[in-house]
Structure 1
Amino acid sequence: MEMETARSVVLVAATVTTGLMAGLFHAFSIAVMPGLARTDDRTVVETMRNINVAILNGWFLLGYGGALVCDVAALVLLAVDRDAGGGLVPVVAATALYLAAVLLTARVNIPLNNELEQAGARAGAADLAAARSRFERPWVRANHVRTLLCTASLALLCLALVEQGAATG
């Protein structure tokens, strides 16, 4: 019974943290970035620079890193317990999708954030316009993709919870 409880707790934690990240990225896709698109170059650059500083906090890191840690832990717990019932296949797929979102963030969003940080140090209007031009479209596109990846990962984790419930109930 202890293993079953540990599996359930970790799977719920993976689902919640992945859901938090899907929700965060979704909010950027449907509200933050469309709202910023209606503003001037200086506002976009300064706002995103401020967001990029503010978001690096323990709560964000708990969700962002915690989702991957919990996904992997759930995968391991399901893989090592032959009596686990169902859920392994969706957790494998969910972990792969979330990892893809993390890698996309590392390869696209973070470098764009860093470039924007450097460009924002220059105050000229032409520099701000150029920085926005290089940043906005690729960042938004990558964010839409990571939103979809995280949402699909969340759905698969929900499926794993249902399969686990069916196997134990």
Structure 2
Amino acid sequence: MMVEKVRLVIIILINIGIGLNAGLFFVFSTCIMTALSNIRSDKGISAMQAINIYMLNPFFAIVFGGTAFLCIILIVIELFYWNGLSSILILLGSSLFLIGTISVTMLFNVPLNDSLAKVRTDTSQSTIVWSNYLIQWTKWNHVRTIAALFSMLCFILGTLQLYK
């Protein structure tokens, strides 16, 4: 069936996208933010400001936004071509990615990044702002990481169920 082939291709592409996102978030949570927190605040702020500028590139946009777009398409497919437990797991995986990764990014990480972009590193307040940023941004990044990993697990289990 054509729908099943399209579904499988979309699931594979979503898993690749979620895997790339989960890996990126994981590296930030376990390495990058720790490294930035252990250097002088002015250097950490400057580094994160640069990261936030260069993160906005076509490759990241395709992986981040494209995965979300494919999740929305797959939700529609699953609702029209219901396949029991497989569809439940795939809908759960899509929802986890859209809510736990995309929404968390837009509601928490991006506003924190936007605020940090305005910080001047030569002020006495910058150290306090940086300390708060590190705590809040990393906390929400942990949420994104966990959501992406569980989302990927749901897609894997849903795919296995689909072809059982």
- TM-score, normalising length: structure 2: 0.92
1:144 maps to which residue?
Answer: 142
Post-superposition CA distance 1:80-121 (Å, at most 9, x none)? 125x565210111111111222111111111110111001xx
Percent identity between matched residues is: 26
CA distance in 2, matches of 1:69, 1:151: 18
Distance (whole Å) between structure 2 residues aligned to residue 51 and residue 91 of structure 1: 32
Q: 1:111 — aligned with what?
A: 111
- Structure 2, unmatched stretches of 5+, are none
Tell me, yes or no, if the aligned pair for 2:42 and 2:122 is still in contact at 8 Å: no
Residue 130 of structure 1 is matched in structure 2 by 128
Equivalent runs, 1:65-144 vs 2, <5 Å = 65-82=65-82, 84=83, 87-100=86-99, 101-119=101-119, 122-144=120-142
Query: Residue 88 of structure 1 aligns to which amino acid in structure 2?
Result: S
Aligned with 1:124: secondary structure?
coil
- Matched to 2:16, the amino acid is V
- Counterpart of 1:165? 163
> What amino acid maps onto 1:104 in structure 2?
V
1:76: how far off? 1.7
Q: CA RMSD in A?
A: 1.5
| Contact persistence 1:85–1:163 (CA under 8 A) | no
* Offset from partner CA, 1:50-81 (integer Å, 9 cap, x none): 00000101111111111111112222222212
User: Is the 2:78–2:91 Cα contact (8 Å) retained in structure 1?
Assistant: no
Aligned residues of 2:68 and 2:98 also touching (Cα < 8 A): yes
Q: How many residue pairs align between the two structures? A: 163
**Shift of the alpha carbon at 1:125?**
4.5
CA distance in 2, matches of 1:49, 1:163: 43
Q: 2-side partners of 1:142 and 1:102: how far apart?
A: 11
Which of structure 1's runs of 4+ aligned residues deviate more than 3 A? none
Partner of 1:22: 22
Unaligned runs of 5+ in 1: none
Q: 1:123 to 1:42 in 2, by over 3 A?
A: closer
- Does the 8 A contact of 1:109 with 1:142 survive in 2? yes
Q: Which amino acid aligns with 2:146?
A: L
CA shift digits 1:116-159 (9 cap, x unpaired): 1001xx24241321320231100011101111011110110111
Query: How do residues 4-15 of structure 1 correspond to structure 2 at under 5 angstroms?
Result: 4-15=4-15
Shift of 1:9: 0.5
